[in-house]
Amino acid sequence: KYKSPRGPAHVMATNPTYGNNDLPLQQNSGGPIKETPAQLEGGFQCGNIPFTGIPLAVHKLFPAYIVLSSIVGFIDATTEAGLLNMLIVGPVLFSTVLVHELGHCAGTFYTGGRVAGILLWPLGGLAFVGSSGEARHNLLISLAGPATHLPQSLFWLMMLAAGNQGDVSMTLQGDFGPDLCRRVESTVLIAFIIP
């Protein structure tokens, strides 16, 4: 059996570690932990992500953040600007963060680790993952999330080019579709630097 130099389990970032499939589930204290982290149970349970079986939960403050941010977007702005803001902080942010966390999960599966679930909350997302503890595995898992932003960015640049006669300038020009692509592109690129 594999023995980590830091004990049978360690904490990766702020997430609880669930160890390799052949290791007992333990916390740093040595006591058993549940398969589903308490943080997932405190949010809205959204079921399992198709094709992966990964449990997904949304923190109770995430919908409140979307509603409040959307309302703020309509204050002192046109209806179009408010709708644009609502799309950015709602479905676009949700999907971007979810794909980012799925990247961490894919890296975990690739290295033979385990995934307990994903929690989306106003400040981003948390993938509850555990690996063998080897530095190269942890590095791959850490980089896999931000790496998902490259194809996302290319997708939104292609959408911008297709909807704006090939122009991919990032200056907002008052056209709803292209401006949505520009704002999403900026959001995806900014989120790229936040692992």
> Could you report the per-residue pLDDT of 153-185, keeping only the tens digit for each?
888 888 888 888 888 888 888 888 888 888 888
pTM higher than 0.95, yes or no? no
For 46, list phi and psi in degrees, rounded to 5.
Answer: -105, 10
Distance CA 89, CA 96 (A): 10
Q: Tell me, what's the pLDDT at 38?
A: 66
Q: Tell me, what's the pLDDT at 194?
A: 59
Residue with tokens 């949700």: 94
**Lowest-confidence region among 80-84, 107-111, 130-134, 145-149:** 80-84
Summarised one tens digit per residue, pLDDT across range 17-60 is 333 333 333 333 332 334 566 677 778 888 888 888 899 999 98
If pLDDT is split at 50, 70 and 90, which confidence band does 124 have? confident
For 50, list phi and psi in degrees, rounded to 5.
Answer: -55, 145
Distance CA 187, CA 106 (A): 22
Q: Tell me, what's the pLDDT at 101?
A: 94
Q: CB–CB of 161/155 below 8 Å? A: no
Q: Tell me, what's the pLDDT at 7?
A: 34
CA-nearest of 148, 158, 154 to 178 is 158
For 107, list phi and psi in degrees, rounded to 5.
Answer: -60, -40
The first and second tokens of residue 163, run together, are: 């909807």
Whether 11 has a pLDDT exceeding 80, the answer reads no
At CA 65, angle to CA 61 and CA 68, rounded to 5? 130
Q: Tell me, what's the pLDDT at 10?
A: 31
Summarised one tens digit per residue, pLDDT across range 72-114 is 877 877 777 778 878 888 888 888 889 999 999 999 999 998 8
